[in-house]
Structure 1
């Protein structure tokens, strides 16, 4: 139960969050309280600014320490150096004030953890950095030369508690840190050096631009869509969708102006999705109500445009920013009105090729009712 990665997210389903989001939210509350009660760590940051310590081990050092896997290590004291702007309207501070990134030999990018650092004894020079589930990230202190001594690093730092028993000795040895990965001596470095190191974990794709909550305003209509031509449909015989539109118009704008909270945007935003299929050229429109969830909008089908006899609360789609101004729509569980949302065919994962759409911005007239 660490927070070692934010990369590799999937657009479909709740796999971005789920139980992990609950842990993160609880950690945020606990961490903020802890941070408020923790004295300023002047040993790490005499001026109160973000502090960075790091070391890159050369080949000579690693040759004489064959059981040390870590080739690069950086410790950052300050605000979150990893997370990107997301779709949650207000992301409060995590409470984390210590972040550790290590890159093992042969790895392309670092792994990382964040935790809450403070002193158990105000008179002691030792600082304890803890993580969720009452685990220790590391013990740190600054020596007489200003170097940061990082100790108490467990081999399962990036693994779940009990991983050694679950994985077995051989696999644990492969995934865990080395037996000499402890007692690091790190030099003080500019804060920007650490930020650059942590940026290697989940590089920003500049083509994605601003998140949807910034790109799409609460009081402005939008229209995204795609018309699939014969060539595309010919190469995707299992795709049912012929045309698709995602939009907010005057009705949705008025509803949000009446009952929505712009400070919580996009929570409570209504959208419409219209589709035609190969079999039916008649446009079918379905309403959804959206909330920001990590870097997606999670949109749940509503009965506003249809009279359903079944519970459609679990019929969800997901919106996410795409490259170069596009919008990605994910339909992981047959939640688009391509087929009857009450049909048994909608109970489970989407069986056709109608799973992920890349939609282009269109004039509002293209989405007119």
Structure 2
């Protein structure tokens, strides 16, 4: 599993995301956009420049201030629109076919000081970039972090060699970008992998706070024979009366799916008895991040760091990712549950089922 900040990373996709929040009311900064219109700055470096800057990986860079130019369906609560991103960065490194991108909130560092610089912040109190417009109207974009597209803590997780390969270069922290038409930035962002229309609406729209659901799969002998390292024989992901009552008592429909409980039942080849575990979810980028909960049973360890991820699949299916042994196919407090999932139980493609198929 790559450590890049793209939502599909845990599901083997190419994007992990720092957020495609709704931005209909994204605030504008007069220094960047005196007229209040969306603005674009960019630069494409020629071979001569790159030759004399061997530690600069970035060959193309664009910064867009205004409404979201990416507009990818996301799983974050609709109430998050009040905190819309207004700064969007995209870069393409040497030899890459497509750009990467990140988004953040751009504001004056000191609102009381007109001469104050502009900082664009990201999730987890990280910095996207610092901004300044020079006397020729060019955007000076500095303080770009080498791990801007990576997860927090990626250097420790990946190791130095892999981190250096995926991070930006030593000379990728300071850029002078020229003003360009807004459509130029939109065209650059459109080079990012388009959303597959077969995926349909986000899970937060498909699944309702006050309605049950049931997804699952029963693996036949042919499948299990071709996947000898898969432990799971049957799996169900559902919300039933208990989960609905829990959300009705303490949840907020305006922040759906944050705080939603789900249950996951599994049977394995080794044990015919079904084991059910509860998880508490929150919307994050284009997935639900669901942490194991001890609401329904006692554990000898803290299981809150055990996480699975739900993501919409094509044609009404659901994808479940289990990158770090967070399903009850193993004892969640055992040594076997430590570290990454090594069995063939990492990703499941689940089909909608009648609610009766998920009866505990």
The TM-score with structure 2 as length reference comes to: 0.71
Describe how 1:305-344 pairs up with structure 2 within 5 A.
Answer: 305-344=296-335
Tell me if 1:107 matches 2:108. no
| 2:249 equivalent among 238, 253, 258 | 258
Q: In 2, distance between residues paired with 1:177 and 1:253?
A: 52
Q: In 2, distance between residues paired with 1:214 and 1:252?
A: 18
Q: In 1, distance between residues paired with 2:324 and 2:176?
A: 49
Q: Is the 8 A contact 1:117 1:127 kept in 2?
A: no
- 2:218 corresponding residue in structure 1: 227
**Secondary structure in structure 2 of the residue aligned to 1:225:** strand
**Secondary structure in structure 1 of the residue aligned to 2:138:** strand
Describe how 1:50-65 pairs up with structure 2 within 5 A.
Answer: 50-54=38-42
In structure 2, relative to structure 1, the CA distance for the partners of 1:196 and 1:122 (3 Å cut) is: farther
Q: CA deviation at 1:246?
A: 0.6
Describe how 1:208-357 pairs up with structure 2 within 5 A.
Answer: 208-357=199-348
Q: In 2, distance between residues paired with 1:123 and 1:276?
A: 62
After superposition, give the CA deviation of every residue in 1:4-45 in whole Å (9 maximum; x if it has no partner). x74474227xxx99xx98xx9xxx9xxxxxx98x8634x734
In structure 2, relative to structure 1, the CA distance for the partners of 1:354 and 1:185 (3 Å cut) is: closer
| 1:81 equivalent among 44, 55, 69 | 69
Q: In 1, distance between residues paired with 2:50 and 2:339?
A: 51
Q: In 1, distance between residues paired with 2:339 and 2:111?
A: 54
- 1:196 corresponding residue in structure 2: 187
**Secondary structure in structure 2 of the residue aligned to 1:291:** strand
In structure 2, relative to structure 1, the CA distance for the partners of 1:317 and 1:49 (3 Å cut) is: same
Unaligned runs of 5+ in 1: 29-34
Q: Is the 8 A contact 1:276 1:283 kept in 2?
A: yes
Q: Is the 8 A contact 1:238 1:353 kept in 2?
A: yes
- 1:32 corresponding residue in structure 2: none
- 2:10 corresponding residue in structure 1: 11
Tell me if 1:149 matches 2:138. yes
Tell me if 1:159 matches 2:161. no
The TM-score with structure 1 as length reference comes to: 0.70
Q: In 2, distance between residues paired with 1:230 and 1:140?
A: 64
> Which of these two proteins has the greater Rg computed from alpha carbons?
1
In structure 2, relative to structure 1, the CA distance for the partners of 1:103 and 1:271 (3 Å cut) is: closer
Q: In 2, distance between residues paired with 1:270 and 1:135?
A: 33
Q: Is the 8 A contact 2:63 2:89 kept in 1?
A: yes
Q: In 1, distance between residues paired with 2:111 and 2:309?
A: 48
After superposition, give the CA deviation of every residue in 1:105-154 in whole Å (9 maximum; x if it has no partner). 54322355656366999999x995444578964532575xxxx4234x56
Q: Is the 8 A contact 2:235 2:266 kept in 1?
A: yes
Q: Is the 8 A contact 2:263 2:276 kept in 1?
A: yes
**Secondary structure in structure 2 of the residue aligned to 1:175:** coil
Q: Is the 8 A contact 1:236 1:353 kept in 2?
A: yes
Aligned alpha-carbon RMSD (Å): 4.4
Q: Is the 8 A contact 1:157 1:177 kept in 2?
A: no
Q: In 2, distance between residues paired with 1:342 and 1:100?
A: 41
Q: Which moved more, 1:236-245 or 1:201-210?
A: 201-210
**Secondary structure in structure 2 of the residue aligned to 1:281:** coil
**Secondary structure in structure 2 of the residue aligned to 1:263:** helix
**Secondary structure in structure 2 of the residue aligned to 1:91:** helix
Unaligned runs of 5+ in 2: 149-154
In structure 2, relative to structure 1, the CA distance for the partners of 1:109 and 1:140 (3 Å cut) is: farther
Q: Is the 8 A contact 2:8 2:286 kept in 1?
A: no
Count the aligned residue pairs: 327
